[in-house]
Amino acid sequence: MQIRLPSVLVRATPLDESVIRLLSPDSYRALRALRDGQQGAVDHAAAQLGVNRPSLWYVSFFGLQPDARYTARDVDIMSGASDFRPLDVLPLTAGFGSERVGQRQVQSAVYVFDTGIDLYQPLTITVDGASGSNWSTVIRTIEQERALVRARAGSR
């Protein structure tokens, strides 16, 4: 999902295996390696917070203007009737905590949310007050890709 703010473009991707497995092999390997590389920090955060199976998201902030600002913790996901705020944010890029990004540069992190975000129902992601709710389109794309995978597997 993408949300365009005045000075940054925010991209949010769930790191759930059922979603990333449908990506191209290179994208899958990159996101899986990113997720697996953070597993120790995720396990530690989840244990401290008492969460059994956290929902992990890769969130990036792309600068559209020089010295663009963002609020790292102001990322919410509405799933069903529940609102999820990040339990923890695990920075991936140096300087993420400064909440600034240069023009055409990226700051990114793995966001740890509580269990309960249903990726197969409509979601709304809100960042700094701006919302993106095109998840229904993403769900259709995921289901189309899943059908193609099944068709390829069935023809073997």
Tens digit of pLDDT for each residue in 20-29? 998 889 999 9
| pLDDT of 143 above 80 | yes
Structure token pair of residue 82: 């529940």
Amino acid 145: pLDDT:
82
How much of the chain, in percent, has pLDDT values that exceed 70? 99
| pLDDT of 91 above 90 | yes
Amino acid 79: pLDDT:
94
Secondary element (H or E) of residue 57: strand 55-63
Rounded CA-CA distance 108/92 in Å is 6
| pLDDT of 73 above 90 | yes
| pLDDT band of 149, cuts 50, 70, 90 | confident
Domain definitions of the chain by residue range: 2-149
| pLDDT of 62 above 80 | yes
pLDDT (mean) for 20-45: 93
The amino acid present at 107, given as its one-letter code, is: Q
| pLDDT of 82 above 90 | yes
Rounded CA-CA distance 131/125 in Å is 6
Rounded CA-CA distance 17/32 in Å is 8
Rounded CA-CA distance 35/23 in Å is 15
